[in-house]
Chains A and B, each alone.
Chain A
Amino acid sequence: MAAVIFSLLVFFISLFITTSSSLLVPGLQILHAERQIDLTSHIVRVYLTLKVENIEDDPASKVLLAFPPAQFDHLSLVKAAVTVGKKRKKSYVPLEVNPTEQPDAPNGTKYYTISLLNPLLKGEITTLEILYILSHSLEPFPAEISQSESQLVYYHDSAIILSPYHIKQQATLVKTPTNKVESFTQVEPTFRTGTELKYGPYEDRNPYSYSPIIVHFENNNPFAVVEELEREIEVSHWGSVQVTERYKLAHAGAKHKGVFSRVEYQSRPTGSGVSSFKHLLAELPPRVHSVYYRDDIGNISSSRLRINSKKSELLIEPRYPLFGGWKSTFVIGYGVPLQDFLFESAAGARYLNYSFGCPLADTVVLPEGSKDPSVEVPFAVEQSLQTKYSYLDVIGRTVVVLEKNNVVPEHNVPFQVHYKFNPIFMLAEPLMLLGVTSSEEAARWIHSLQDAALNPGKDLMSYSKENGSLLGELIYD
């Protein structure tokens, strides 16, 4: 009886495999695949090296990458590159990667398409280097820990690379942050040495082979997640670009349970609250000035700013250490010199070149009187235009709003906003000021005092607050 069932099962599986393989872009096979899963931080970085061969007559210009649906949702970035040249003169050429839909994808598999530079002729072999980043893929287990426990997480994946192609030989290397691995699924052959876990090599696996694995390991990295980040870039032709960043920060790791004891936290820093974090590093442009760091109820008096010619680093400390599930909000603001970011293009237009940073909503406030704004961003964002009235504006300032979800540090690339501006508008407000009554002058004067209040110089106050934008190990979702 059991044998019958088993044979039936085998039959169905083979049926499944044959039907599905027939659906797919055949033509390619993967000679050698090597995967490195880096679990050392709270975002998962996967480096994949594929050696692809065309085995059919038609030239192939596209290579498909397959992802299980659960992974696809957490995918924040996919990059691919092709190696050109021999060993000595090896260089990487980036390739275009786009999400695609395939009809009749088995079990809801999702795809990315890599467009090759040159179509692959029959028998040709090319090597692709792929990097993809998964956020929110480490599941804390236990989901709640007390102050003295360290944080353990699950990572789910497959021992065998999910692919629509036949893979001749493959291996997967999983790197964990510490030696402490509670458990992992054995898919022979599996070896573990120190912080490394090796699955494979596996030979000749059919398309869509899948073998789920779970790695349960210690990861005390701060799971700092920015839930919302709005950045406002205000361009003033009087010489500065004012940036304001509003953060909503959370610790997305295992939830803190029960007591928080300050005495333990302070007296045993290594044994207590190891997964919590106290400070974050923000990287700001060089030559920043008037940096501030505050929240709804006032300045946060704990931060350190280091400025050098290449970049400025701001070490910010939230008001309290963040344990699992705790949240915090704050605002970082700073000014940068205008000439570093604003350039004049041909035909008299101007453009602002600023790095996207990691905000979820980027608003660029152009000076009053700007015309014809247009945006160049290297990736897809939602765009809209608004009008904002700032100090003594009459016709309002043009505001370009860019929105994006699921942002990781790799999205930190420059974007450009082009616009036209007549410098005569710069004089509008001073002229108006000269003309208006003393009451308005008084109000503006109050404003300038308030600025002085918010951005006190170092010499005036010994606990100065200085600050900037968070990079490093943050996920923005």
Chain B
Amino acid sequence: MAPPETPQPTTLRHAFGNVLSVFVLLLIGVFAFSIRLFSVIKYESVIHEFDPYFNYRVTQYLTKSGVYDFWNWFDDRTWYPLGRVIGGTVYPGLTLTAGTLWRILNSLNIPLSVETVCVFTAPIFSAFASWATYLLTKEVKGAGAGLTAAALLAMVPSYISRSVAGSYDNEAVAIFALILTFYLYIKTLNTGSLFYATLNAMAYFYMVCSWGGYTFIINLIPMHVLLCIVTGRYSPRLYIAYAPLVVLGTLLAALVPVVGFNAVMTSEHFASFLVFIIIHVVALVYYIKGILTPQMFKVAVTLVVSVGLIVCGAVLAVLIALVASSPTKGWSGRSLSLLDPTYASKYIPIIASVSEHQPPTWPSYFMDINVLAFLVPAGIIACFLPLSDASSFAVLYIVTSVYFSGVMVRLMLVLAPAACIMSGIALSEAFDVFTRSIKFQLLGSTENLQVNNAGESTNVAQNDVVKTEKNEDSQKERSSRKSKKKEKESTERVPLVSRIEQKLLVLPLETSLIAVFLLVLLGAFYVVHCVWAAAEAYSAPSIVLTSRSHDGLHVFDDFREAYSWLSHNTEVDDKVASWWDYGYQTTAMANRTVIVDNNTWNNTHIATVGTAMSSPEKAAWDIFNSLDVKYVLVVFGGLVGYPSDDINKFLWMVRIGGGVFPHIKEPDYLRDGQYRIDSQATPTMLNCLMYKLSYYRFVETDGKGFDRVRHTEIGKKYFKLTHFEEVFTTHHWMVRIYKLKSPRNRIRGKTKKSKSKASSTTSSKRSGTRKKNPWH
């Protein structure tokens, strides 16, 4: 099959079209980059949110110590006292990419800081991603659809939300890698070239390096291969597209330390091996079919099928037995919650507690993919006219990603490229039909034939080449199945078929004009929405908050105030305890050791902190002291109305703590099933550490203790802290830092008193607290 770039007879117009495409692509790249700069213009060039801070810190280490130290990096600043082997537990793609970028720039004497490179990595890669989308869609439905899809992807809000400047997260490069892998797969499928197959494995390797979402690829591609086989579309090209990917891809994936033997051990990868076996069986069948006479083949089929079934059954049985022997059935928690959406909320509160792991709401679809949601069905239909290997892949991609996005908000990101491709196809096909109709109507029937020829050789030429050859292929296969003959002859009737098809799709002039106008309007609406989303909704770095009021803009820079205070005014080796959300930021910005962070790899450890936060002061002090904690950091939004503070997250701390230490019981913190902090709240709630640290001396600000997040007056207003002392509170009270008082205070005469108090206020289960604390 000839690649689309092969010179056609009408070269000049074709060349012009190519130049125009390149120019448009360049503009799309620039647009994709610049629409993501709102965060830098509106706020500043800074790393956003939580995970990006970790990635930034790793990149700093990488650029400072080199790649070998990076692989062996044992980080003692986090998960105290356990530590974390960063090199072996992190997806290194993003950091290596940014580190390489930084190194190249510096070798060219462009002394950008690591931070700057990190901030702009995501926008750069979103430009790459839109180009990859162009390539992928071009393989599916031609250059026009490719350009449209690339333009749509450049500004799809769902992707922008993860790739604005400063959002330095794995997804930033992973989406590019995902689309590139799909493109190379389709390219190999269309060309049957082993070169592209190898590239495909490399792209897959890059994806594995970048993001845990690579399992989506290694399940989707086998599904497509299976689909092709089942629908009788098996061809040597399919074999070349798939088999090298599995072999090379798995070998390469196993090179990534964080994946390692998981590449062959976990259930996420089994589908690919199963299909690998199947495709070999099918290949064998086709081969045998080729060399045997039909009678012999029938005999052989019965033989092979029966033997094959037995072997497959045996293998399956072994696999099932293996899988069933492990408690999670060999699936990781996140994958399981994808297959069974209720799984996480039942068994793994830590996954369920993350807002991005919740199922999305309908408005969020509209917010994130906007009009694409309406165009997708049209795109799917267009993919069936005619159905090719590539377009069936696109359909499969959109169907699976719609399902996954329905389970987790976060996976809207995977849906976005699929939706863009589909909408690009839909829009492009629609424009094709309408403009062709207009052209036909205007030029009249005399030039009909000429125009038809010209149109075929220019605008839609590439489409047709792809399409017709697809038709050819499918027909080949169909005919091969039916007639069981070898066919090598070139088919000359196919262009005729497509010409007839085109003539049928001519619409009246007025209808076409109105439709084109409406489509442009739809596109304009989409662009406006995307720019708005980029500017207003997704650009906030979340470490700096702003609020508009009548006297101008207010800046809440409390997080950095607190981290800066910690980094300058505490000892380097002090340990800071906070809820895990703030772990990455504390290590990156304050450079202090934390107990738990956003990696959440050790549930028990997090549960210990959760338990401490939900315990009364004394018990909490014991737990923290046993962990060498010197400072406790809580985030409190009650004064300024910042809703995602620790009090609102507190029930998760109780749940996660209670999951490991059963003496913490969620109902103790709820009054009649309601979570409240006012005077109706339960005594357990009002005496727990989180409540006390959040509301300590809060009543003195306004005299009533009115919490602006919960919109109530707090339940317990005047109380003293006996084991903690306030050492720092930020300007808007959003971060409060407490220091553990040294144990001396406890010994001096107060022991008896506090002991009797403790036993009087708490029931017998409290005495179990200390025993159950694993750090004693």
Residues in chain A within 8 A of chain B (CB atoms): 258-263, 266-267, 294-302, 319-320, 325-329, 389-394, 440, 443-444, 446-447, 449-450, 452-454, 456, 460-463, 465
Most B-side CB within 10 Å, residue of A444, A461, A465:
A461
Q: Could you list 22 A-B pairs, sorted by A, with CB under 8 Å?
A: A295-B564, A297-B46, A299-B44, A301-B557, A319-B557, A319-B564, A320-B728, A326-B569, A389-B109, A390-B109, A443-B105, A446-B116, A447-B110, A450-B112, A450-B119, A453-B37, A453-B119, A454-B45, A456-B44, A460-B41, A461-B41, A463-B555
**Separation of A453 and B727 alpha carbons in the complex (Å):** 34
B385 within 8 Å of A (CB atoms):
no
User: Which B684-731 residues have a C-beta within 8 angstroms of A?
Assistant: 697, 700-701, 725-731
Q: Does the CB pair A320–B730 fall under 8 Å?
A: yes
Q: Does the CB pair B701–A263 fall under 8 Å?
A: yes
Q: Does the CB pair A453–B45 fall under 8 Å?
A: yes
Which chain A positions have C-beta within 8 A of B42? 460-461
Which chain B positions have C-beta within 8 A of A300? 557
Which chain B positions have C-beta within 8 A of A319? 557, 560-561, 564-565
Given A263-B701, A267-B701, A393-B109, 10 other A-B contacts at CB below 8 A?
Answer: A259-B726, A260-B728, A297-B560, A320-B565, A320-B731, A327-B569, A446-B116, A446-B124, A453-B165, A465-B44
Q: Which 6 A-B pairs have the closest CB atoms?
A: A262-B729, A453-B45, A462-B553, A453-B40, A298-B46, A389-B109
Measured between C-beta atoms, what is the minimum distance from A5 to chain B in Å?
49
B301 within 8 Å of A (CB atoms):
no
Measured between C-beta atoms, what is the minimum distance from A349 to chain B in Å?
27
Q: Does the CB pair B565–A390 fall under 8 Å?
A: no
Measured between C-beta atoms, what is the minimum distance from A103 to chain B in Å?
47
Q: Does the CB pair A463–B553 fall under 8 Å?
A: yes
Given the interface contacts A262-B730, A391-B110, does A328 sit within 8 Å of B44 by beta carbon?
no
Which chain A positions have C-beta within 8 A of B553? 462-463
Most B-side CB within 10 Å, residue of A258, A261, A393:
A261
Measured between C-beta atoms, what is the minimum distance from A194 to chain B in Å?
37
Measured between C-beta atoms, what is the minimum distance from B724 to chain A in Å?
10
Which chain B positions have C-beta within 8 A of A465? 44
User: Which B211-260 residues have a C-beta within 8 angstroms of A?
Assistant: none
Q: Does the CB pair B568–A328 fall under 8 Å?
A: yes
Q: Does the CB pair B41–A298 fall under 8 Å?
A: no
Q: Does the CB pair B108–A443 fall under 8 Å?
A: yes
B733 within 8 Å of A (CB atoms):
yes
Which chain B positions have C-beta within 8 A of A460? 41-42
Most B-side CB within 10 Å, residue of A298, A329, A444, A465:
A298
Q: Does the CB pair A447–B557 fall under 8 Å?
A: no
Given the interface contacts A319-B564, A450-B116, does A392 sit within 8 Å of B109 by beta carbon?
yes
Which chain A positions have C-beta within 8 A of B165? 453
B85 within 8 Å of A (CB atoms):
no
Which chain B positions have C-beta within 8 A of A462? 552-553
Measured between C-beta atoms, what is the minimum distance from B282 to chain A in Å?
45
Which chain A positions have C-beta within 8 A of B45? 298, 450, 453-454
Q: Does the CB pair B701–A450 fall under 8 Å?
A: no
Which chain A positions have C-beta within 8 A of B555? 301-302, 463
Q: Does the CB pair B108–A440 fall under 8 Å?
A: yes
B8 within 8 Å of A (CB atoms):
no
With both beta carbons as reference points, the residue of chain B lying nearest to A265 in the complex is identified as B729
**Separation of A475 and B513 alpha carbons in the complex (Å):** 76
Measured between C-beta atoms, what is the minimum distance from B281 to chain A in Å?
47
Which chain B positions have C-beta within 8 A of A328? 564, 568
Q: Does the CB pair A449–B120 fall under 8 Å?
A: yes
Q: Does the CB pair A443–B564 fall under 8 Å?
A: no
**Separation of A40 and B725 alpha carbons in the complex (Å):** 34
Which chain A positions have C-beta within 8 A of B543? 298
Q: Does the CB pair B109–A391 fall under 8 Å?
A: yes
B283 within 8 Å of A (CB atoms):
no
